[in-house]
């Protein structure tokens, strides 16, 4: 297996066509791992969810079929990866183990209340510290503004919870602060909602 793994994370906004386009882009760019937020999904007769099937990729969801999943992975068939034992049974968080020369976990999250659960709270607010290992890449759509990464936006009410998670676990922000990841035509400037964070042990091994 190549020592270089390309990871692409993207929110596809529950759109099947966008999912197909992203899978094609992944093939063209030689992407090994797709971390998807708000995937397009259907539920089969066994009540398990799946998204668009592609012969080059394996889909990985959390072990939770009661609520529509909002985080998933596509993993190219040529690498070895699997659902991690510490991956929570939660629709908005899924963790995979990568079998590389380094012991790496990738944590994919979608951070917002779930519309199908009136009692839900965002996954970061519920606490992720116990899920993070020594060598972790934490990425996803965090839906949270803070001057650390989004200096032009108003600070979100729960932003300090995410900031404390970053500090308490010695995570390094890999985004360029202020470089937008989300834009709509009515917005005066792009906002920074999608973040990638990494443990100290991995930060110097990540190229971009």
DSSP assignment of 107-118 equals: EEEE-S--TT-T
Give pLDDT tens digits for 5-26.
999 999 999 999 999 999 999 9
Give pTM, 2 decimals. Answer: 0.94
- In order along its 208 residues, the chain shows pLDDT tens digits of 446 899 999 999 999 999 999 999 999 999 999 999 999 999 987 788 999 999 999 999 998 778 999 999 999 999 999 999 999 999 999 999 998 777 899 999 999 999 999 899 999 999 899 999 889 999 999 999 999 999 988 999 999 999 999 999 999 999 988 787 877 676 666 788 999 999 998 988 888 7
Contact, 131 vs 86, CB < 8 A?
A: yes
pLDDT, one tens digit per residue, over 100-124 is 777 899 999 999 999 999 899 999 9
Residues 141, 72: Cα–Cα separation, whole Å:
12
Cβ pair 140, 194 in contact under 8 A: yes
Would you state the structure tokens that stand for residue 114, as one six-digit string?
């779930």
Helices (H) and strands (E) in the chain, counts: 3, 12
* Annotated domain spans of the chain: 7-203
User: Domain 7-203: which CATH class?
Assistant: alpha beta
Distance CA 148, CA 168 (A): 15
* Contact present, 143 and 107 (Cβ < 8 Å): no
88: CB partners within 8 A, 6+ apart: 62, 95, 131
Q: Which of 80, 69, 65 is nearest to 33 (CA)?
A: 80
Helix or strand (DSSP H, E) at 187? none
Whole-angstrom distance, CA of residue 153 vs CA of residue 182? 12
**Torsion from C-alpha of 145, 147, 150, 154, nearest 10 degrees:** 50
DSSP label at residue 29: T
Burial class (CB in 10 A: 0-12, 13-18, 19+), 20: middle
């Amino acid at each position: 297996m190549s020592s270089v793994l390309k990871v692409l994370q993207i929110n596809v906004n529950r759109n099947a066509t966008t999912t197909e386009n992203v899978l094609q882009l992944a093939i063209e760019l030689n992407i090994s791992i797709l971390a998807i937020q708000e995937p397009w999904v259907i539920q089969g007769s066994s009540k398990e969810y799946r998204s668009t099937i592609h012969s080059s990729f394996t889909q990985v969801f959390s072990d939770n079929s009661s609520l529509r999943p909002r985080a998933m992975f596509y993993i190219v068939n040529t690498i070895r990866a699997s659902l991690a034992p510490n991956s929570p049974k939660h629709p908005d968080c899924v963790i995979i183990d990568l079998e590389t020369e380094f012991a790496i976990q990738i944590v994919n999250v979608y951070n917002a209340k779930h519309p199908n659960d009136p009692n839900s709270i965002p996954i970061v607010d519920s606490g992720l510290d116990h899920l993070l290992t020594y060598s972790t890449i934490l990425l996803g759509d965090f839906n949270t503004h803070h001057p650390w990464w989004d200096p032009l936006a108003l600070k979100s009410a729960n932003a300090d919870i995410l900031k404390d998670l970053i500090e308490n676990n010695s995570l390094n922000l890999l985004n360029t602060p202020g470089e937008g990841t989300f834009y709509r035509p009515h917005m005066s400037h792009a906002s920074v909602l999608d973040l990638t964070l990494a443990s100290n042990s991995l930060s110097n091994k990540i190229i971009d």
